[in-house]
Structure 1
């Protein structure tokens, strides 16, 4: 009888040690399981908040997730999303930092390079934007956004032959590209090829007769050609289509100022200011309206 009890006691003791071992193992593993789930949950909740435009909440969640696991390979996406949120909040320096951290995890990520380049452009750092667009095109020679924006930078630099190469390549890839054709028309205008610029814009207006931007672009070409009456007709149409277009009022004010119609010029400049043009940018023009 004692032997039986002793054996049972040994079994209970062995089971007790086994149970303790299982509990310790679970305690060891549980934090890592919870850690992984929390990282994933925070990431997913952040995306939900971004979609709801609750940007501050999204930012907090992304920062929490990144602190949980700073070396996780998925942090490229988290830093990219954080950059997006910060950009939309107007925190451009922080957004640049986030995109750069993202690129540390994924150096050749085309979407992240494009996002960082766009912020560089918004901040006026065109040389850095140019570098990113070139890197994108090294990875993807047919990337339309990179071709378009690099061409735009070339125009800013007055490197018109290089701009034309990129625009032509873009037109080969997408002959109906709105931004590409509008950019090419601007390039023709910059090079003094007004007829070619008008040909492009006329075709685009036939295709999209309710696009105020196209009428403003054509008016600008007509103004440079000295056809101010035609330009004013186009600007009237642009304002009819979009009464809040600061560019239309700005150009119309400039034409009226050339025509010595100071009162009309001033009223158009004031309209442009009311729609977002800084008054300081028009200080000289307003002085001339006196």
Structure 2
């Protein structure tokens, strides 16, 4: 008799297996609905009934990870991997958990192992590329992105992800090319428009940047980052009042948007509104450094 049955003496072995199976299935729907606490409750009961089901441990670990309960997630992924040592999914998810905890070398070990089992898994390749970038192994990260794109050149997200890395590396022309590829794959991709607008701003192509950012905001009127970027562009084009309106809106949407405070402070300083500028710089320092 399993330990789960000992804890639930009213159920037969067959009934425990059946109930555990339905609980796991309901938990998967809860996860799809982002109702992770409900999923965890079902999976906890399922594990009590059927402790040797690796899927239940893995799913509960994933819900804990999404809720940023990283220690609990690691414990569940460890249990899943004891039962199924070659589960690429559990290894990849545990790697994501390690990465979120800034345990980057351990994350890399899990991603490398997972990719020996499932070499074409896009989400694991993407997670590995992110960790390589965080480790400042940027050329290796670009190699991973090239693999991802080669697997599916029609996927806008893959071009976006490499574009973001190029932007991080200050390779703005390359970033613009990748964002353009993302938009060819998905012309309505708002983030690609916003990010391409930002990259164009960085190389002083302000009119083109403004076109992209206008389109991004037409599609998503609550895009705080697009408002911040457009505010900076409008300032460069000499329209500080319109720039301030955009930056006000960006900060209204995200009161912790540090960069927007800094840019707004610089515009206010240029307008000799120094008391207001001091408030913005002070808030930027508080948010970034705790001053």
Give the TM-score, by structure 1 length.
Answer: 0.73
Runs (5+) with no aligned partner, structure 2: 1-8, 269-276, 278-291
Q: Please, which of 116, 130, 145 is the counterpart of residue 167 of structure 1?
A: 145
Which range is displaced more, 150-159 or 251-260?
A: 251-260
The alignment yields a C-alpha RMSD, in angstroms, of 3.2
Give how far 1:153 is off: 2.7
Aligned length in residues: 258
| Whole-angstrom distance in 1 between the partners of 2:12 and 2:206 | 70
CA displacement, residues 142-185 of structure 1 (integer Å, 9 cap, x when unaligned): 32222222223333333232122212222332222322222333
Q: Which residue of 2 aligns with 1:65?
A: 46
Gap change, CA 1:43 and 1:90, over 3 Å in 2:
farther
1:152 has 2:130 as partner: yes
1:115 has 2:93 as partner: yes
Give how far 1:123 is off: 4.7
Contact 1:205 1:211 in 2 (8 A): yes
Q: Which residue of 1 aligns with 2:71?
A: 93
| Whole-angstrom distance in 1 between the partners of 2:41 and 2:176 | 50
Q: Which residue of 2 aligns with 1:7?
A: none
Q: Which residue of 1 aligns with 2:284?
A: none
Q: Which residue of 2 aligns with 1:78?
A: 56
Q: Please, which of 22, 27, 38 is the counterpart of residue 16 of structure 2?
A: 38
| Whole-angstrom distance in 2 between the partners of 1:104 and 1:277 | 44
| Whole-angstrom distance in 2 between the partners of 1:50 and 1:237 | 37
CA displacement, residues 109-154 of structure 1 (integer Å, 9 cap, x when unaligned): 1111222233344455444433322221232333222222222333
> For residues 177-216 of structure 1, what are the structure 2 equivalents within 5 Å?
177-216=155-194
1:218 has 2:196 as partner: yes
Gap change, CA 1:201 and 1:283, over 3 Å in 2:
closer
Contact 2:251 2:261 in 1 (8 A): no
Q: Of the two, which has the highest radius of gyration?
A: 1
Give how far 1:222 is off: 0.9
Q: Secondary structure at the match of 2:120?
A: coil
Gap change, CA 1:44 and 1:250, over 3 Å in 2:
same
Gap change, CA 1:141 and 1:55, over 3 Å in 2:
closer
| Whole-angstrom distance in 1 between the partners of 2:248 and 2:110 | 38
Give how far 1:102 is off: 1.5
Q: Secondary structure at the match of 1:267?
A: helix
Runs (5+) with no aligned partner, structure 1: 1-30
Give the TM-score, by structure 2 length.
Answer: 0.73
